[in-house]
Amino acid sequence: MLSSTGHPFIFLLPVLAFVIFWVMAKFEPKPVGVTKKSFFERNGTPVAIYLIVAVAFWALFMIVLPQLFMVEMSFRPKLPPVEMGGPKDLYTFENYHYFIYGSTTSSDAINWVHIKAFFLTILASLLVALFNFALCYPLAYYMAQAARPARVRFLLLLLIAPYWVNEILRAFAFRIIFSSGGLINKMLLGAGFVDQPIDFIGNDIALYAGLGYAYMLMMIFSLYNAIETLDHAQIEAARDLGAPWWHIHSFIVIPFAKPGIASGCTLVFMLSAGSLAAPLVLGGPRSLWFTPILYDRFFQAFNWPQGAAYAFILLLACVSFVLLVLRLGRLSLGEIAK
Amino acid sequence: MSSKTVMNVMLAFYMAIFFGFLFGPLIVMGISSFNTSTYPQVYPIEGLTLTWFEKLLNDRDMVYGMKNSLWIGMWVVLLSVPLGLAAAMMMSQIYSKARSFYYVIVVSPVLTPGVIIGISTVVFWRDLTTATNSKFLYDGVFLAVLGQSSFISAYCMLMFMSRLNRFDRAQEEAGLDLGASQTQVFFHILLPFLRPAIFSSAVLAFLSSFENYNTTTFAILADKTLTTVLAGRVRQGTTPAISALAVLIIAVTIVGAIIYELVKRREDRERQARLDAAHAAELRELESIEKATLHA
């Protein structure tokens, strides 16, 4: 199929969705005797126009259409600009084919490097999310249920402060600590534990530590907000009935805070799987991470359609993760995106 | 030793580890920016110096990137806050069967990796500007503002939604009954009610924009922002001038946080004073009514 048909079709999609909902609304049986004000009457004309224009611009031109264009591009071949829209511009799976089988010039049957990087990224992001949960849960619980308000305020301030420093500088700080001439190696050498510096960066230890550090705040806040709404009387009651502390946590606090846990884990997973700064700064020459590969599709291979395909693969992974978390926790999207 | 003391010791130990992990890296970086050694290091301290700060201020790319970042941040605030507000107001009014569909769309940028948002923004506007022959729109700053606002608006929307949940519809009805138009209600009742949310979402929008890298690195095209310049510098090699920048940012932050805290405290005090005054007035009124009835 010629790919010049793609763009008009994409522009038609939102119109179609709008028409479907409009027709549904028109044919919906109205409750008798209740006259509802129209949208314009309820908001006043100027405000109503502002709402429609703003929401339409944001939803269409900043969210939906860009994503659809990117997906559409991932099915196009790489062509010089003159040939775009020409007879060679046919929809193809070659970019996805490349992800799995690699280029025709490579001797390997399967594109192991990219596939391994992809699954390693997913796995490591999962572990980062779990590690963050384990690290942050006690503090979130303490702040939400045990600490005095003045102390909570102070702790919140302490927690937020490091996050005003941007991601690259935070990664840079880890580089200073973990590099071969860095603080930890100096201390280990000085104490005589090792006789030559440990290559933390080459072993990806620095990368994982940096990722764990980078997104702690998201986890803390999701957990804190969820646990804070739990009535302390429930914990008291359980304690009075003789429940040991781990019963209280596993049967009362954690089930109650499920939406917060889900949202914290989703956010941390998504942020680390999509993180670019930490792998660029903390990755060694042989580090495998998916986003730098994606970055190179654009800026070294100059193959945009292929980059778009890789981005779409990453997006699918994140969407599946969100759906999986929702299914496992029996939650709705509204409960975790707060 | 009672179990309570054991608990307290464990808590203190855990807190020490947690905040050590949180602040350790920043402290290390801070110290290295004052050390004369050309490689950022904490130990041994070879001598104290401010050269790295001077180097930083003379770095033309860095200063240019900083200005660009501030400029983009301003536009992101001006765009995201109104978009977020409109989207939040739309949420309760949209056709009920379309609501969950609408919600998925407007919340999706929060759960989409930043690189993907950057890529899709560039792909879309490149094709659109080529097709409509309006090449001047294919500009790094413009695309960075749009790409960042795409998800920052969603943050703002979530903040407005939680504030709007607490809005008392009776206020709006009272305004309408007293003869105000819908537009007047919006400007004189709703917006003042939303003021704290507008302020905090503006701050959040600016900060998220200023420190964003993932989306910006694609959307900025050939132009530069502070974060993209920094990323380039860090990849080339490590110099204490980068630590110096972190120290400056932390210093500005601390001052900003203190100001924010002071403003908030003063507002709290003023609100309390207003409440007290209203309460006192009410009491006086009750007293006078009581007196009047006693006299009668």
Which residue in the set B127, B242, B245 is minimally distant from A7, CB to CB? B127
Range of lowest pLDDT (A50-54, A84-88, B65-69, B234-238):
A84-88
Q: Is residue A125 part of a domain?
A: yes
Residues A215 and A130 in one domain: yes
Residues A139 and A239 in one domain: yes
Q: What's the whole-model pTM score?
A: 0.85
**pLDDT tier at A338, thresholds 50, 70, 90:** low
Range of lowest pLDDT (A108-112, A305-309, B158-162):
A108-112
Q: Which residues of B touch A159 (CB under 8 A)?
A: 22
**pLDDT tier at A3, thresholds 50, 70, 90:** low
Other Cβ atoms closer than 10 A to A112 = 11
Contacts of B135 (CB under 8 A, 6+ apart): B129
* Residue B99 CA: distances (Å) to CA of A1, A64, B93, B154, B202: 35, 16, 9, 16, 26
Question: Cα separation of B107 and A286, whole Å?
Answer: 36
Whether residue B15 and residue A54 make contact (CB cut-off 8 A), yes or no, is no
Q: Is residue A47 part of a domain?
A: yes
Residue A177 reports pLDDT greater than 90: no
Instruction: Indicate the residue among A45, A74, A103 that finishes a domain.
Output: A74
Q: Which residues of B touch A337 (CB under 8 A)?
A: 107, 110-111, 158
- For the stretch B145-174, pLDDT in tens is 999 999 999 999 999 998 888 888 888 888
B108–A contact, CB cutoff 8 A: yes
Residues A70 and A129 in one domain: no
CB A308 within 8 A of CB B119: yes
Long-range own/partner contacts, residues A314-318 (CB < 8 A, 24 or more apart): A314/A273, A314/A274, A314/A290, A314/B113, A314/B115, A314/B116, A315/A67, A315/B112, A315/B113, A315/B116, A317/A118, A317/A122, A317/A273, A318/A269, A318/A270, A318/A273, A318/A274, A318/B111, A318/B112, A318/B113
Question: Cα separation of A273 and A317, whole Å?
Answer: 9
B103–A contact, CB cutoff 8 A: yes
Question: Cα separation of B88 and B159, whole Å?
Answer: 9
Region B134-151 average pLDDT? 89
Q: Which of B164, B168, B204 shows the shortest CA–CA distance to A51?
A: B164
CB A82 within 8 A of CB A20: no
- Count CB pairs under 8 A between chains A and B: 257
Determine the structural domain holding residue A69 and report its residue range.
4-74
Instruction: Indicate the residue among A21, A49, A74 that finishes a domain.
Output: A74
A171 Cα to chain B: minimum distance (Å): 9
Residues A63 and A140 in one domain: no
Contacts of B287 (CB under 8 A, 6+ apart): none
ipTM, two decimals, is 0.86
Residues A12 and A136 in one domain: no
Residues A147 and A218 in one domain: yes
SS3 A334: helix
Structure tokens at B251: 């210093």
pLDDT given for residue B149 in this prediction: 94
Residue B1 reports pLDDT greater than 60: no
Q: Is residue A102 part of a domain?
A: no
- For the stretch A66-100, pLDDT in tens is 999 888 888 888 877 777 767 777 788 888 888 88
Residue in A closest to B23 by C-alpha: A162
B184 Cα to chain A: minimum distance (Å): 9
B248–A contact, CB cutoff 8 A: no
Residue in B closest to A297 by C-alpha: B119
Residue B296 reports pLDDT greater than 80: no
Which residue in the set A21, A65, A276 is minimally distant from B214, CB to CB? A276
- For the stretch A225-243, pLDDT in tens is 888 888 888 888 888 898 8
Residues A135 and A70 in one domain: no
Q: What is the 3-state secondary structure (H, E, C) of A124-145?
A: HHHHHHHHHHHHHHHHHHHHHH
Residues A127 and A22 in one domain: no
Domain count, chain A: 2
DSSP conformational letter for B97:
G
Residues A183 and A116 in one domain: yes
Q: Which residues of A touch B102 (CB under 8 A)?
A: 59
Residue in A closest to B113 by C-alpha: A274
Name the average pLDDT for chain A: 83
Instruction: Indicate the residue among A47, A74, A101 that finishes a domain.
Output: A74
pLDDT given for residue B240 in this prediction: 79
Q: Is residue A190 part of a domain?
A: yes
Question: Cα separation of A309 and A298, whole Å?
Answer: 11
B234–A contact, CB cutoff 8 A: yes
Q: Is residue A80 part of a domain?
A: no
Whether residue B218 and residue A25 make contact (CB cut-off 8 A), yes or no, is no
**pLDDT tier at B293, thresholds 50, 70, 90:** confident
Residues A198 and A277 in one domain: yes
- For the stretch A245-294, pLDDT in tens is 888 888 888 888 888 898 889 889 998 988 888 888 888 777 788 888 88
Q: Is residue A101 part of a domain?
A: no
Residue A110 reports pLDDT greater than 90: no
